[in-house]
Chain A
Amino acid sequence: MKSIKKALMTGVSYMLPFIVVAGLCIAITGIITTYFHVESEALTLLNGFAWTIMGLIPAIFGAYCAYSIADKPGICAGFLGGYIAAFPILETTKASGFLGGLIAGIIAGYLVILLKKLPFPKVIDSLKSTIVIPLVSTLIIYFIMAYPIGIVIGGLNNAIINGLLAMSSNQMLAWLLGAILSVMVAIDMGGPLGKIAITFVFAVWSDPSGLGFMVNAAVFPGIMVPPLAAGLAAYLAPKKFTSSEKKNAPTAIITGLVGIGEATLPYAFRDPIRVIGCNVIGAGIGGALMMVFKLQTPGVSGIIGIPPASNPLLFTLCILIGVVISTVLLVIVKKPVSDDYVQTEEELDLEIKFD
């Protein structure tokens, strides 16, 4: 378990710069295009490039999760497995996001450890690290991610979307649909559940009833509340956050404003139940309110969705309400980070084992 947590942290550590770059490029190009009404092929290309970076993030995550477990030889299979998580192979399978990347990275890591132990005659020992380990590990990961994992996520995807479609035809349950979609996006911060919710939004995008733009509005709190709440809470309750979390707060807030939720991950990993719980409550309420007020937006993500919204003021208000609720909950519920300086070796509960 401990090495899985370490793998997770390593993956996050290496993928963070990519998230920052992708987020800021999307932000800057989006803001210039939308607010300054500049039409430019250069901006569109840069924007597209930034989205490509986002697509690579599960691959980077998988690569360095595997690196943490198996060192350099793990990177190849980890990266490629994570890549499949973002860009599935079979037509009926669906993307599993960074969670798929995590699974790929962990499996790749332990697989490579196993392969390293294979006995090889000394003569061809160099073949082991140059050909055998990369090829065998990648092919095995390919089969696992393309087929079983992809199919499971694909099945999950279809089941959930059919359920959501059934719910969307019932006007009385609109608020519940909004809440569920928003919660799905908030709960895994870029993982498969959120991706399924977004797939549903695209599935009904062109529905004549305008449902597509309505459910699109509903997921905005799901995307924006977690990073904004985490970042703001770190400022408001400094005693309850570690220095890393406080230093990460500006990144979380800025990328959160442009609709990137991944910067919440470090906060969620350190204190999962409290952080995810509080985020989900605020996001759910925000999503429900969006549907109740029948708000729509064709915007893609983040604050870029505000100007084209059917009622920009109310739209912003719903997001703000979600952010405020989650921030307040986080500030109340989180425990202070202890600063005790342990003096004596008797008080230090640690057994020294030499590796």
Chain B
Amino acid sequence: MKIVAVTACPTGVAHTYMAKQALEDAAAKLGHGIKVETQGAIGIENEITRADIAAADVAILAVEVGIAQSERFKNIKTVNVPVNTAIKSPEALLRKVEEALKNR
């Protein structure tokens, strides 16, 4: 499974980056490819391009604020979860997403 993800929390200095780390670690452990863009207080970092989206199977938006450039994800299956879900249960989240993709 190839994943693109965006993380964004209100203050934008802590959870945003914790979620990115958690998702990357979980993806590595489960053998999935992932690219995580953060939208923290400083703005967009590690921006996800159209090419990234075209090559991906699913987009995970672990966000609690409205994100910039959300139109990019119009044509890809998108999952919206709270930032804390990505931080606390990244592996379970990825497994559930994989399962849901298979059952479509």
Contact = CB atoms under 8 A, between A and B. Distances in A.
A71 B66 contact: yes
Contact of B93 (A17, A64, A266, A350): A350
Given A10-B10, A71-B70, A244-B11, A352 B91 contact: no
B14 A345 contact: no
Interface in B58-94: 58, 64-66, 70-71, 77-81, 85, 88-89, 91-93
Contacts of B85: 348, 350
A343 B91 contact: yes
Given A7-B66, A352-B79, A353-B79, A243 B14 contact: yes
Given A6-B64, A6-B66, A68-B66, A13 B11 contact: yes
Contacts of A355: 77-80
A6 B78 contact: no
A6 B63 CA distance: 9
Contact of A342 (B77, B89, B97, B100): B89
Contacts of A243: 14-15, 18
A341 interface: yes
B15 A348 contact: no
A237 B97 CA distance: 36
Contacts of A35: none
A41 interface: no
Contacts of A345: 92, 95-96, 99
Contacts of A68: 65-66
Contacts of A6: 64-66
A350 B70 CA distance: 22
A340 B10 CA distance: 22
B13 A247 contact: yes
A344 B92 contact: yes
A248 interface: yes
Interface string B1-37: 0000000011111110010000000000000000000
A354 B66 contact: no
Contacts of A354: 58, 77-79, 100, 104
Contacts of A244: 9-11, 13-15
A3 B24 CA distance: 27
Nearest to A246: B14
Nearest to A251: B11
A100 B47 CA distance: 35
Given A345-B95, A350-B81, A353-B79, A9 B89 contact: no
Contact of B11 (A16, A347, A352): A16
A61 interface: no
A76 to B, nearest CB: 15
B63 to A, nearest CB: 8
Contacts of B10: 9-10, 12-13, 244, 266
B60 to A, nearest CB: 10
B66 A64 contact: yes
A345 B100 CA distance: 12
A242 interface: yes
Contacts of B88: 339-342
Nearest to A243: B14
Interface string A330-343: 00000000011111
A7 B67 CA distance: 11
A247 B11 contact: yes
B96 A247 contact: no
Interface centre among B71, B80, B89 (most CB of A within 10 A): B89
A236 to B, nearest CB: 19
B65 A9 contact: yes
Q: Which 6 A-B pairs have the closest CB atoms?
A: A68-B66, A342-B89, A243-B14, A352-B100, A348-B92, A10-B65
Interface of A: 6-7, 9-10, 12-13, 16-17, 64, 67-69, 71, 242-244, 246-248, 266, 339-345, 347-348, 350, 352-355
17 contacts: A9-B64, A10-B66, A13-B9, A69-B66, A71-B66, A243-B15, A247-B11, A266-B11, A341-B89, A343-B92, A348-B92, A350-B96, A352-B97, A352-B100, A354-B104, A355-B79, A355-B80
Given A16-B11, A352-B99, A354-B79, 4 more contacts: A6-B64, A247-B13, A339-B88, A350-B85
